[in-house]
Structure 1
């Protein structure tokens, strides 16, 4: 449910015997930097010179914080290993902004498109839902690579959606973002769920850890979060690794079967297909799997999703037409329904009673707050 989570601490201390055991494990290399992490440690000096500070684990001369103390390393922030070889989090010194830094091929199509969607003339457009590039640095480890700095984002579905209106807002923003991309002749070609993220700062005013994203920045407690319904977030498309950009007179056709979603029927290494219509299918598939298949109460979105996933690409709506379809659908929906909770299709009858009771109470408090303002 939405609202603040319980502030559950991790057990930070351990017995002297356990501390001795952990010290021995550390000596034997159990918490040594992985090879991919050592590459980031080698980049640390350059990044710091450019104003980006890595976590303590990756700084020169790092010594595990639990050594010499009765601390459980599993409760120590500097024991946390990055989960991706080619992406790491950092803090921008000048404003403490949390950022992500990605290793990319220098002068690649990904860099070209990332620069395009981050250019001054489009970056301020509210319809632009492409992650922006803040900086591109030379990679001191691999000369043919570059380090692309972007705002830190978290998965769009963590924390889970709670209200019908939250799901509708996600659909609205992502269609708006897709229409914007297509209007500047960029086809994403891989806009699957893993490549859609959100700026979660409105939900986490106290912040959260960049790797263990449901813990506080110090890793010691559960990170409390707020509701999307009352604290709206913005969603972003990321990863333009297989994206395509077309000139005004270029025929919009491509070949290839790369991408996370293997279901689109037109994917082919031999027969050209329209990547803009591919984006429509992939995004419709996101709505199908992430919302309609998981929750009850979103059946009103099914005509839109069915149209977007039509087996014949030419019969799918454009992104602009899909937005119009969504607006027509929303206009026929009672606005009070949008604040009602999403019901998981897997929840039991007793769970439904409890969650519905909480939802009614929450809605009552919402209307009471509006009355007293």
Structure 2
């Protein structure tokens, strides 16, 4: 296992980088569900990345902004130029079921995300943890991407289905992956290269960030033919 780092340190820079994160997370959870494993605690703290491609000299575990020998500050490389792999971690609350258990029910257990609608009701009522996983995944994207950035309106219909109050109406991960692939197929290369625009930024800040992004990311990556969706090698 590589030395993992928080998925957003450094921050993702483009729509394409975010979509690659979503793709890996969706397919990872789909794989777990196909093998009858419910994670039960998908949250920001449990999404990590192998930062070796963007920090080839590694980092110090106690001071992630410093080199492993603590002698210099680190300057991360771009994810678009050096794609990374993401990991869903912490299986302490996870449960594996038999293939015959098509609708397993468990007493709710609170993980890092305490906003699950069905958990706000009677906590003694057993719930299907696979339905809860879908909510966790959708709410992660809603909270840390859709509410933070202006770029993800195209994800709203899918995420809305994943975070429905009625857990029985949420899609399966197979459905999510199918819908996501369709969404991704309709995004242009220009859209994927688009800078992530923070909702808190004003016009002046956005202008300066756009200028920097086009000059030091978009144009160089177009000239070097870097893919807009930075998918790491298997």
Counterpart of 2:220 in structure 1 is 365
- Are the counterparts in 1 of residues 81 and 221 from structure 2 also a CA contact under 8 Å? no
Counterpart of 1:224 in structure 2 is 75
TM-score, length-scaled by structure 2: 0.91
Q: 1:339 aligns with which of 193, 199, 204?
A: 193
2:164 is paired with a residue whose SS is coil
**1:269, distance to aligned residue in structure 2 (A):** 3.5
In the alignment, does 2:162 pair up with 1:308?
yes
Q: 2:26 aligns with which of 170, 175, 197?
A: 175
Hey, what's the Cα distance between the residues in 2 that align with 1:298 and 1:222? 33
In the alignment, does 2:48 pair up with 1:193?
no
Q: Call closer, same or farther: CA 1:223–1:324 in 2, change over 3 Å.
A: same
- Choose between structure 1 and 2 for higher RCO, CA contacts under 8 A separated by at least 6 residues: 2
Hey, what's the Cα distance between the residues in 2 that align with 1:291 and 1:308? 15
2:107 is paired with a residue whose SS is strand
- Are the counterparts in 2 of residues 229 and 339 from structure 1 also a CA contact under 8 Å? no
Counterpart of 1:153 in structure 2 is 4
Counterpart of 1:272 in structure 2 is 126
Counterpart of 1:255 in structure 2 is 107
Hey, what's the Cα distance between the residues in 2 that align with 1:279 and 1:297? 24
Counterpart of 1:319 in structure 2 is 173
Hey, what's the Cα distance between the residues in 2 that align with 1:169 and 1:366? 17
1:273 is paired with a residue whose SS is coil
- Are the counterparts in 2 of residues 296 and 345 from structure 1 also a CA contact under 8 Å? yes
Hey, what's the Cα distance between the residues in 1 that align with 2:185 and 2:223? 26
Hey, what's the Cα distance between the residues in 1 that align with 2:52 and 2:9? 12
**1:194, distance to aligned residue in structure 2 (A):** 0.6
**1:170, distance to aligned residue in structure 2 (A):** 0.8
**1:152, distance to aligned residue in structure 2 (A):** 1.9
Residues 29-75 of structure 1, C-alpha deviation per residue, up to 9 Å, x if partnerless?
xxxxxxxxxxxxxxxxxxxxxxxxxxxxxxxxxxxxxxxxxxxxxxx
Q: Call closer, same or farther: CA 1:187–1:370 in 2, change over 3 Å.
A: closer
**1:166, distance to aligned residue in structure 2 (A):** 0.7
Instruction: Report the number of matched residues.
Output: 222
Q: 1:281 aligns with which of 107, 120, 135?
A: 135
Hey, what's the Cα distance between the residues in 2 that align with 1:154 and 1:290? 17
Hey, what's the Cα distance between the residues in 2 that align with 1:370 and 1:289? 32
**1:201, distance to aligned residue in structure 2 (A):** 0.5
Hey, what's the Cα distance between the residues in 1 that align with 2:63 and 2:87? 21
- Are the counterparts in 2 of residues 189 and 259 from structure 1 also a CA contact under 8 Å? yes
Larger Rg: 1
**1:151, distance to aligned residue in structure 2 (A):** 3.2
Hey, what's the Cα distance between the residues in 2 that align with 1:210 and 1:327? 35
TM-score, length-scaled by structure 1: 0.58
User: Any gaps of 5 or more consecutive residues in structure 2?
Assistant: 227-234
1:198 is paired with a residue whose SS is strand
**1:249, distance to aligned residue in structure 2 (A):** 1.6
1:302 is paired with a residue whose SS is helix
The structure with the largest strand share of the pair is 1
Q: Call closer, same or farther: CA 1:370–1:265 in 2, change over 3 Å.
A: closer
Q: 2:90 aligns with which of 239, 243, 266?
A: 239
Hey, what's the Cα distance between the residues in 2 that align with 1:264 and 1:370? 42
**1:265, distance to aligned residue in structure 2 (A):** 1.4
